[in-house]
Structures are given as structure tokens and as C-alpha cells.
Amino acid sequence: MSVVILDFGSQFTRLIARRFRELGAYSVILPGSASLERIQQESPQGIVLSGGPSSVYDETAPRPAPGVMELDIPILGVCYGMQYLAHEAGGDVKRAGKREYGKADLTRYGGQLFEGISGEFVAWMSHSDSVTQLPQGYEVIAETADTPVAAIENPQTRRYGLQFHPEVVHTPKGGQILGNFLTICGVARDWTAEHIIDDLIADVQKQVQSGRVLLAISGGVDSSTLGLLLARAVGERLTAVFIDHGLLRLGEREQVEAALIPLGVHLVTVDARAEFMGALEGVSDPEQKRKIIGREFIRAFEREAAIQAKEHGPFDFLAQGTLYPDVIESAGGLSADKSGAANIKSHHNVGGLPEDLNFKLVEPFRTLFKDEVRQIAKLLGLPEHIRMRHPFPGPGLAIRCLGAISEEKMDILRRVDDIFISGLREFGLYDGCSQALAILTPIRSVGVMGDERTYSYTAALRAVTTDDYMTAEWARLPWEFLATMSNRIVNGVHEINRVVYDITGKPPATIEWE
């Protein structure tokens, strides 16, 4: 049983699914054009029609498949979805006299969706069209100063519409509305981390049977958590391979081994530093770096897989930490036959595993969001410093060292990065940032240390806050903290004599520098 979200192109569709899951209800995203048969495969107790950039009165406007609107289950339309509900039932939707974008106060509200909600209600609007005439059976249940029809409902047919977005953080009480919709649908709130783990282990055991599983470990939360889950599911029939390519953070190899081996993961570490550094020598173009690292990872991974297969027997399955957003992006939701036959994602630590490894895929996390994986990781015992670690790029520190890299530059950057990240943890600022990093620039500048003139590297520090990584704000770290970090870096890393802080958002910049 689930809530099915039909995606008509809104940038917030994923957030709707996440909010439902945070409320304890399983939800899935399907293309807006998904067939009735495909939707019914999910045994939906409710359907959400998402927002989108189209206008319902255009001939090419997206619409649900025939039969969907006749289902005898509650349907909630959000933004474009509400306009479609009204239009489809015989109401009018027209270009609004005034486009409404941003925060708006509801001047009145009521009805089943607002049950138990009181006081000021701030909503996030983003629309150019508005419902100008209600269809028969509907009534207005909310309005703003600029939008007389901000929410509608038809209690008899259990059809509901919101012109605003309840899923975004800018609508603080939006979660209560979504919770009320779940109550209307009668959806069970049993989507918990404990429940997920039991189901995932059972699914893996059913798929793998007595086969052997190969997994590439990156050291990040996804692959590390997957290693712990697979160890519980198949035990010693799992071999996890961790490639040390020389582009890791300070002490990362030891941290990964200490986190996973005691918890029962059969982890094999491959020292490929010499091969990677040799292949990267003199290469300064960022894309070339990525391609070389991807190529070398595949070579190292294949070599070790062959060694392990010769020693312990051939592998039947390749495990990947594919998450639900990857599935949505690559295949527009789960594949039509629910077989998991979506495109193989480019592994976040390798730049693309080859498709001819002749393994069957095991992707237990393909229905999960990142925050759900973190919850599972906690229950499985993954140490907090890995469970809550910021995203780390697949090519490692290679793309945080601008220009050509070398072992000397990697050593410099590792020490700078360690001082910065350790400082964020020490001052209680790490969890308030979504991602933080240090960059070694090729810029050298004159400085004075003691009574001596220096001509050394400039290091840049960057920290951002974001909900979705599609956009990001630079983190407003305290000046005192930044001054302390600058002092520690310059004094602790003698190759650095200047530290700068990046105060650029995304857009126009990206989070990483390369």
C-alpha cells in the first residue's frame, strides 16, 4: 500500500515523496503519463498530482492516463495538479492577472486538509495560472490576498487541491496538510527504518539465494551502509572491495576499515596509489582527471574481482548503492515491470563501472532517499563520523587540487582539509553545513612568516547549506572561526601562507571547484 505521486515536471516532486516518508508512509514517484495498470501495481491508497511548468488549457499539457481520475481513492492536486483537477471537472483556469511567487499568508482556511491546524498559515506560492471558476461539487477552502482560490476540495469524490506547495520548508505547516491527506487515504504509518531493514534483508536473500556478491566500497554512507546490510543478509558470501587510490582524505582508509570490518563486512583493501598517481601525472584538465580516475578504478576493481573469484569462487551479483533519486533521473521512476531494469548509474566513487562485468545487479536502496539510508545506517551501527559525513566527490581530492596533481600536493591538501573539517566538528559547526571542503589553488603569493619572506600556496575554504544540492547558499561561518582556521592552517601547513573563504552561491558557482 502506498501513495503514488504522478510527476508533471515540478522541481519539488521528490520533496513530496520525502515528506510522506518522513510521516511514516511509503510513497513512490511515477511519470505523469504512467498507465493505469502501472499505477495499480503499487496498490495506491491515494494519488498526488504534482506541480509543473505547463498550463492545463494548452493542447500539449500533460494529463494522467485514461482511467486514473475514475479511481475510487483520494486524489490531491498540487499547483498544476490542482488546476488540472478543476479543469478536468469542468472549471476554468486562466492566466492570473498577477503572478504569485514566494511566501503568502492564507487569509482564511478550513476543510479536511486543514483539520487541526490553527493560527497563522504561511504558504509558498509559485504560479502564473489560477482557478477562476470552480467545477460543480467543489468549494474554496483557502485563499490569499492575491489568490481567491488557494485550495479546493470535493468531500464527496475525495478530490483536493492546493495552489501552494505544502512540501517545501517555506510552508511550515505543510507537513500537517500532507499528514491529513494520509489520514483521509487511510494509509498506514509503518514505513520505519526497522521495517525497511527487515524487508531489504528478505528481498536480498530472495534475490541472491546462495550466490556470491561483489561490492565496491567508497567510504561514503551509501556504500558503507550497503556493506553492513549485505553482510547481515548473505554473510561471508559478500566481498567488499575498497580501492585506495591515493586521493582520499587523511586517515580515511583506516577509518573505513575500522568501521566495517568489526561489524562483519568481508572487506578487501587494494593499494592502487602508485597506479593512479602515475596515470594522473601532469594532467590538469578536470574532465581528463575524472576519466583517468574512472578508468583506473575499473582496472583495479576488475583485477581484484578476478583475484577474489579465483580464491573463493566466482561472483554472481554486483551490488550498487543506487538511490531513489538516481532511479527517478535515469528511468522516470521504477521500471514498468518493477524488475529494477533501469540504467546502471555511474558509481559515485568510480566514474562508471563497466556494463560487461557479467553480473546481475543487486540494488537494495533503489527505493530509498539519502536520509532513509542514514537512518538505516544508524540502526546497523555505522559510526557517526561516516554516517553523517558530508558528500565527498568520486574523484576524491583530485578535483579539489586545481591543476596538475602530485603526491606532494595531495599531502598538502590532506592536511589543510583535516584542519578545516576537524575544526568544524570541534566548534559544533559541521552538522550545520551541508558540505564543506578545502581547495588547493595553484596560486602562489608573497607572504611574511617570522622575519622571512615566503612564496607559498593559497588555500581556499568552502562551506555551503542546501536542502537538495540543486541550489546552495554559502555558509555564514563565524568570522572568529574562520580566523582560527586560517591561523591553524598557516601555522600547521608551512606550504600555505594565505587562506581565503569562498562566498559564492550555487548558482552561479558549483559546490566543487572542478
Residues with a known catalytic role: 79, 165, 167
Beta strands 267-271 and 44-49: pairing type? unpaired
Nearest to 512 by CA among 442, 444, 456, 463: 463
Q: How far apart are CA 32 and CA 328, in angstroms?
A: 12
Grid coordinates given for 477:
561561518
Grid coordinates given for 220:
561514503
DSSP letters for 145-209: SS-S-SEEEETTTTEEEESS-TTSTTSTTHHHHHHHHHHHHT------HHHHHHHHHHHHHHHHT
SS3 label, residue 118? coil
Nearest to 143 by CA among 123, 115, 158, 128: 123
Which DSSP helix (H) or strand (E) runs through 124? strand 122-133
Q: How far apart are CA 133 and CA 344, in angstroms?
A: 47
Full 3-state SS string of 451-506: CEEEEEEEEEEEEEECCCCCCEEECCCCHHHHHHHHHHHHHHCCCEEEEEECCCCE
Residue type, 15: L
Q: How far apart are CA 360 and CA 341, in angstroms?
A: 11
Nearest to 115 by CA among 183, 210, 21: 183
Rounded to 10 deg, the angle between the 13-22 and 174-185 helix axes is 70
Q: How far apart are CA 228 and CA 232, in angstroms?
A: 6
Q: How far apart are CA 27 and CA 16, in angstroms?
A: 9
Which DSSP helix (H) or strand (E) runs through 405? none
- What's the half-sphere exposure (Cβ side, CA atoms, 13 Å) at 166? 29
SS3 label, residue 316? coil
